[in-house]
Structure 1
């Protein structure tokens, strides 16, 4: 039952936002009493904490799985983006923004975990791209990996990028192209152009 509650709460939080969804909403969706939820989670904050950790672990495992194939680093970045966007429902409810606003302690813990995972993934991607001649050999990997993380977090800041003006998919597409054009060699740019054309044709 605990996992059923987490799964349903995750779905509702991502669709409607952490603020909007009540314990009554979750209970009604599951066809159970609110008391049953409180057996497993003493309050909404604990439920939010459990669902965010569950989302983080699910996405981290998926990213690790994608990285294990050691694909072309540029393709890998776009594949990870597609995977994350699918699991976060394109972030239509801007869950990370709401988490930061209403549950700042949980947000800080999650951000630290995200940084750790993303650093490993991005540094490995950058080093492999350099080895394959797709990324410039003179880039500072530690600097680029941190800038990448920071920009990804800023994309979710609604003060800077309001959802009414920018969809998360659009922001991600713009930023990935911006990031890659800054570090790619001519060989890498050829691959990037090829992928952008494929993505354009699929829209």
Structure 2
């Protein structure tokens, strides 16, 4: 029952917002009493923390699956970008913005978990890229990995990048190219240029088919 409550609550919180959804709403949606929910979660805040961690672990598993595909480091980053774009575009409200505004303690916990997981993934990506001759061998992996994490987080800052001016797809595309052009060798840059050109051709074909 606890897992069912977390799953249903996650769905409601992501679709309607953490502040909008009440314990009564969750109980009514599940056809159970509010008392049953309180048997597992003392407060709504405790439930929100559980759902945030549950969703984070679910996303982490999806990203881990990308790393098992044995793609080259540049291709790997593009696949992760595509996953993030698809995931974020399906959200009606920004969960991270809501957590930061209304539940800062949970936001801090989640950000630390994100850092630990992403730090490990990015360092691995950088080291493999260096070993394969795609990234420069004089990179300070520790510094670059932290820059990558913090800059990626900044893209979600509504004040810095208002959604009425920048799309998530646009921000992620520009950021990934910016990141890679700063660390790639000539070999890596050639591979990057081919990847960008292929994406451009694919997008043009999609637009043509839509018009037709």
Q: How far apart are the structure 1 equivalents of 2:5 and 2:13?
A: 12
1:129 deviates by: 0.8
Other-structure match for 2:94: 94
Other-structure match for 1:20: 20
The number of residues matched between the two structures is 203
Q: Which runs of 5+ in 1 are unaligned?
A: none
The answer to whether structure 1 residue 174 and structure 2 residue 135 are counterparts is: no
Could you say what secondary structure the match of 1:139 adopts? coil
Structure of higher CA gyration radius: 2
Other-structure match for 1:113: 113
In 2, are the aligned partners of 1:12 and 1:21 still within 8 Å (CA)?
Answer: yes
RMSD, matched Cα: 2.0
Other-structure match for 2:145: 145
The answer to whether structure 1 residue 190 and structure 2 residue 204 are counterparts is: no
Q: Which runs of 5+ in 2 are unaligned?
A: 207-212
**Could you say if the C-alpha distance between residues 20 and 190 of structure 1 is closer, same or farther in structure 2, counting changes exceeding 3 Å?**
farther
Q: Which moved more, 1:17-26 or 1:92-101?
A: 17-26
TM-score normalised by length of structure 2: 0.86
Deviations 1:121-146 (CA, angstroms, capped at 9, x unpaired): 00110111111111122222111100
1:91 deviates by: 4.5
